[in-house]
Structure formats: structure tokens, C-alpha cells
Amino acid sequence: MHDSIGIKLEKIDDYRWRIPKSAKPGMRVPGIIYADEKLLKDVLKDKAIEQVANVAFLPGIVNASLAMPDIHWGYGFPIGGVAATDIENNGVVSPGGVGFDINCGVRMLKTSLTFDDIKDKVKDLVYRLLSDVPSGVGSKGDIRVSHKEEREIFINGAKWAVEQGYGIKEDLECTEEFGAIEGADPQAVSERAYERGKAQSGTLGSGNHFIEIQVIDQLYNRDVCDELGLDLGQITIMIHSGSRGLGYQVCEDYTRSMVNCLNKYQINVPDRQLSCAPVKSFEGHAYLGAMKCAANYAWANRQCLMHLTRLSFSKVMGVSWQKLGMYLIYDVAHNIAKIEKYNIDGEEKKLCVHRKGATRAFGPDNPALPERYKKIGQPVIIPGDMGRNSYLLVGTKKAEQETFGSTCHGAGRVKSRTEATRTINVDYLLKELESKGIIVKASGRKTLVEEAPSAYKDVNEVVDVVHNAGISKRVCRMRPLGVIKG
């Protein structure tokens, strides 16, 4: 099977395809794409396959340039791309391998509510969330911070929010990196990025960011569900947001400046959007320091959003969020670069793992996990689109061995926002969602069209691939009841 520019794909098995190292002169490793034959047809429609091959040019890249089944065309790296570089072997870090919305991620809350408890109040909850949670392009929230406080957020992440009363300590235990990754360097963040972030704490943002009220409609692993306190008919909530204008500005600053590193460090890549620098260089260190600031800002932001969500539910239901059982299951990033250790050819190596539109999926007993999840593995949260299911999975040891502990992050687009706007009727879309019992509100009608279910792959098919490939395992499935979009 070939892509649009003639790159030949070799079938490894029903869920993996290889781009041979010979596909483009200069590839240091092969590419591996996780997809079945049906999903591969969508992958072949854009230039994402070529981007997987291009990533294989990066200095220090280990094993393979990887792509998850929700892969689609992105900036430099494809969205859904994973690549790890060997830090001690001139391994590089590339801002294009993280993306513009640094630490865009998702968190999932459980509740003690059932569908019967809220079926007549979903509309009230959606309107309350829309009223209480600032959303949309350039939205600003009530949680304003000074320059000094913003620096504290950069260092302490979600811990800052909890210390301000926006949550409890238990929330931090249920957050990747416990809500703050070490090594953030506020001095590496530009003044423009500071300004863009200052008024956006506790805001949802635009595009595919959302808060979704869901009900569990399918259980796949009863033991893990019991461990997590989940059952059929139970209400859950997902919050999807990132680092807002701050993260965008950090990425823009460093993608522009790192182009100069290609000549300086004699790095040969086929696309300037793959600008990069050795991890052990001034430029690489500076980018990682700034990226970690944006990542911590995003964890603080989602913590604040969860606080506002808890308050909204409390107002509508007339009791405290604690009595509603609104506790965090997990929060995981899907646009980030992390320094992690892996066994490569019998030797432990420190790698820079880029996950762009990919979710960490560590298996049981991984030392990075809190004690409560050592037995079952890391919760993996995969949102769908506003008209189809979302999933909770757990990570696996196989993911740690094959994909640097990574899996998919969502459904993945099949239509650009421009194409969606041109081809989808918003009134018909709203009627279709309403007929499914889904109440949707957004800051603008344009957002609804851009984020229509038909603009995305079917998340059920995407999750089937990662489950059957063994890089994460299904726990339960949720369907949407009410959604607010940015």
C-alpha cells in the first residue's frame, strides 16, 4: 500500500504498518503506524505518512518514528506522532514534536450520580457550566494572577491551584507528574508569553476544548472498574484543555529561533518545521525549561476548570461537590516532551520522548505512578467527539516496550476546520445531536461546525486498534449527555 507521494507501507500485522528506512534517503530508523486497514485509508488522504518518515531523520532517534491510529497532518510532526531521542547520543528536542498547545490534555472525574439523578437536569448543568466557565478564543477568567503568581504557577502547576483553594491534595496524586513537572524555567519564557497567559487561568479556550457530561454505557474490565469505583449508568465528566495563548507563544518563539540551530549543529531534516536542537545544548535546555512552564500552567488551568465544574454541579444539584462524589480519576497530557528511562538493546538509556497528540500509557508497577494505580496501570483517557463515545483505558507493559509508553489521544480529524465549515450545516448538526439526547452549547456556532462528529474519525475504531495491539486496554465506555465547547 502506498501514500500520496509513493511511500510504500509494509504490513507487519493487522494493527501495524512499517515505513522502511529506505523509503527516504536520510531516515535513521523506520516508521511504524498503528492502524487497521480501514483507518489506514483515512491516514493516506493527507501528508501524515510523509511526516512520519521525516521525523525519522531526527538525530538520536531510537527504534522507530511512531504514529498512533488517530494520526493526521500537523506542524512538522504529525498529530498522533511519537518519537524518542537518545540524549547521550546527540538526541534532539523539537518543538514541532510537542505542538502549539503545550500539555493540551484531558482529565476525567467520577461522580456518585446516576443517569436517573440528572436526566432532567442536563440542560441546567450545561447552561450553568457555560455561564461559570469562561470559554472561546481569547477568553479571560475571574482567576487573575500577578506576574509573580504566574511564575509560581510555572513552577508549581496544579499545586498552586490547590493551595489557592481550587481543589484538594488528592487531586495532585491523580494527575500526571503530580501536577507539576520538574525543571521549569520561568526565565526561558518570553514577556509576550507571560502577557498571553496572565488572564487565562481557569478558562476553557476554543476549538476542540470542552467540558462533557457523560454516562458509562459499557464495561469491559469489571475488576479495574471495581478498583476505580465505576459502574454502568454512572455519571462522569471529562475536561479537555491546554496551556492557551501561553503555550502557543512558547512554541512560536522556539520554532522560530530553533531554525538557526539546524546550521549551527549541522542537523539535516527535510522540513524546517522539524527545527530542533540537541537536548544537551543551550537552546534545547531553554526550550524544555519554557515548555515545562507551559505544561505546569496547563495542569493548573485544568485544576481550576475542575474547581469551576465542581461548583457548577453543586449549584444545580444543591449539595456540595464532595457529597456528589466528584473525585478525579486521572489527568494526562497529550502534547509534551518528557525525559524518561527505557531499556534499549539491554541498556538503560535516558530518552527525550515526544508525544504529540499521543497519551502516556504506563503499565502496572511503573515507578512514575501513584500507589493507587500501581496494580492496574495508568488510567488512559481518550475523548471522542461530541456525538460519539469516549473511553477510559489503562496502560500496559507492552506499550512501554513498543511505543515508549504511548497510545492514541482521541479520534483524530478527517476534515480540516475549513472543510468542516464549508460542508456542514450547523442547524442540521444541532438537530442530529438533540435526536441522540445530547445537549451542546458553544461560545460560537462556528466552533460547533468545526468540531462536528463527521469531522473526526470514529473513536470506537481508533480505540479498537490500540486495544487489539495491546498498547492500552479498554476499561469502560461513556456516551455524551451534555457538552460545552470553547
Q: Which positions are catalytic?
A: 409
Q: 520554532: which residue's cell?
A: 255
Report how far Cα 179 is from the mean position of its chain's Cα atoms. 15
CA angle 73, 78, 83 (to 5 degrees): 170
Q: 476548570: which residue's cell?
A: 305
User: How many helices, marked H, and strands, marked E, lie in the chain?
Assistant: 17, 19
Burial classification of residue 393, based on how many CB atoms lie within 10 Å of its CB (0-12 exposed, 13-18 middle, 19 or more buried): buried
Burial classification of residue 278, based on how many CB atoms lie within 10 Å of its CB (0-12 exposed, 13-18 middle, 19 or more buried): buried
Torsion of CA 452, 455, 459, 464, to 10 degrees: 160
b/e string for 359-390 if b means 16 or more Cβ within 10 A?
Answer: bbbbbeebeebeeebeebbbbbbbbbbbbbbb
Q: 530542533: which residue's cell?
A: 276
How far is it, in rounded angstroms, from Cα 67 to Cα 466? 11
DSSP H or E stretch at residue 256: helix 244-264
Q: 478564543: which residue's cell?
A: 137
Nearest CA-CA partner of 240 in 431, 94, 109: 109
Nearest CA-CA partner of 11 in 35, 44, 43: 35
Q: Parallel, antiparallel, or unpaired: how do β-strands 472-485 and 439-442 relate?
A: parallel
How far is it, in rounded angstroms, from Cα 50 to Cα 60? 19
Residue 314 — φ and ψ, nearest 5°?
Answer: -60, -40
The cell for 214 is 457523560
How far is it, in rounded angstroms, from Cα 299 to Cα 24? 39
How far is it, in rounded angstroms, from Cα 386 to Cα 437? 11
How far is it, in rounded angstroms, from Cα 114 to Cα 321? 15
How far is it, in rounded angstroms, from Cα 438 to Cα 450? 17
How far is it, in rounded angstroms, from Cα 186 to Cα 198? 13
One-letter amino acid for residue 32 of the chain: I
Nearest CA-CA partner of 207 in 463, 434, 452: 452
How far is it, in rounded angstroms, from Cα 277 to Cα 353? 14
The cell for 253 is 518563539
